[in-house]
Amino acid sequence: MRIGVLTGGGDCPGLNAVIRGIVRKGVQTHDYEFVGFRDGWRGPLENQTMQLDVPAVRGILPRGGTILGSSRTNPLKVDGGVRRVKENLAKHEVDALIAIGGEDTLGVAAELSREGVRVVGVPKTIDNDLDGTDYTFGFDTAVNICTEAIDRLHTTAESHRRVLVVEVMGRHAGWIALHSGIAGGANVILIPEHPFDLDRVCDWVENRFKINYAPIVVVAEGALPAVGELVTKDDSLDAFGHVRLSGVGEWLAGEIQARTGKEARTTVLGHIQRGGTPTAFDRWLATRFGLHAVDAVRDGDFGTMVALRGTEIVRAPLSDATARIKTVDPSLYAEFDVFFG
Ligand code: F6P
């Protein structure tokens, strides 16, 4: 058996742990061979490969990023893309493909599966917004990075009696904002699922100053005001049709300062959230996903994605997992009302 492996979309701490789990189990238990496809779907589309064997995965467990490289290439948007992917898989005598990615990468995997490609998915995204799995790896690392940043921002906010706005990732879902905001004791948490009322945010901010305390406002990059529009970086779209986000934090600080008269500054955590070494939890989860993805290939259970449910690793149909985004339920967000303002 010869298995192709690729990592697509935004990189994520734990990708290397998945790759290592796949290769170690595949080679040592089943004598499988591997071929690494470079830079997400660009690899099978443009026939870009690299050697993927046990020596290639030595020492990569704690390393961030991905040894295979990543991109947001979408073969479904390229003329003859599906045909070219199939031809290149055949050229390398690939019997099965393991695609590690988020909604976009796995959406392509689901389509290729319908087109007869033998593919198994592994869910990846720091945003934790993939349906069908309780958690994706990378999320825990991102939350820890944001929480540490919020902890640090509290002391400088208090020293200067400023409002500090922290912008974190989260395009469609506010999981990072909510988890890190609660863990870091933020006073306002704004998420994409719940359009915010600017007057209410300003009331919360002023309330904090009244009790002699400097407020921390955590805002997900995809959060939007109840009146107004999504703030974007520019008008450009990626191959999956997504706008480039970021900017809501800066905009919000300007509005808060203008409306309350309190000095407000912004910290955009950006790609720091995705870089560097994964937490122990993410290494654990990523390793288990890798091992179970090889089992799914062995069982011929194609068109599925490995997923975490409780403490079990299960398999979910790729088409179901990519059909909708997993967002923060309003009742979960409401649980934390007591901490706002
Ligand atoms: O992978 C998803 C994500 O983390 C989003 O939250 C964010 O909008 C996006 O990546 C940004 O990624 P890039 O800068 O690579 O386009």
> Would the CB of 13 count as within 6 Å of ligand 1?
no
Phi/psi of residue 20, nearest 5 degrees:
-60, -45
169 CA closest ligand 1 atom index: 6
Q: Which helix (H) or strand (E) holds 294?
A: helix 280-298
Matching CATH number, 2-137+278-321, of 3.40.190.290, 3.40.50.1820, 3.40.50.450, 3.40.47.10: 3.40.50.450
192 ligand 1 Cβ < 6 A? no
> What would the pLDDT profile of 36-49 be if each residue is shown by its tens digit?
999 999 999 999 99
22, pLDDT greater than 90: yes
CA distances from 341 to 12, 55, 88, 101, 260 (A): 33, 54, 56, 37, 14
CA distance linking residue 330 with residue 338, whole number of Å: 15
Q: Mark out the alpha helices in 161-238 (DSSP H runs).
A: 175-183, 198-210
What are the residue numbers of the active site?
A: 127
Q: Which amino acid is at 118?
A: R
CA of 27 to the centre of ligand 1 (A): 33
181 lines ligand 1 (CB under 6 A): no
What are the residue ranges of helices labelled H in 92-167? Answer: 103-114, 139-160
Q: Tell me the pLDDT tens digit for each residue of 330-339.
A: 999 999 999 9
Partnered with residue 240 across adjacent β-strands are: none
- Give domain 141-275's CATH architecture: 3-Layer(aba) Sandwich (3.40)
Q: What is the pLDDT of residue 294?
A: 98
Ligand 1 within 6 A of CB of 170: yes
Atom 9 (ligand 1) nearest CA: 10
The size of the chain, in residues, is: 341
Same fold, 2-137+278-321 and 141-275: yes
How many CB atoms are located within 10 Å of the residue 69 CB? 19
3-state DSSP assignment of residue 121: strand
pTM comes to 0.96
Q: Name the residue at shortest CA distance from atom 10 of ligand 1.
A: 10
Please give the distance, rounded to the nearest whole angstrom, from the Cα atom of residue 10 to the centre of ligand 1: 6
11 against 244, higher pLDDT: 11
Residue range 177-228, pLDDT digits in tens? 999 999 999 999 999 999 999 999 999 999 999 988 899 999 999 999 998 8
Query: What are the percentages of helix, strand and coil residues in the chain, rounded to 5?
Result: 40, 20, 40
The answer to whether the CB of 245 is under 6 A from ligand 1 is yes
Domain residue ranges of the chain, discontinuous segments joined by + = 2-137+278-321, 141-275
Query: In the numeric block, which tokens belong to residue 278?
Result: 């994964």
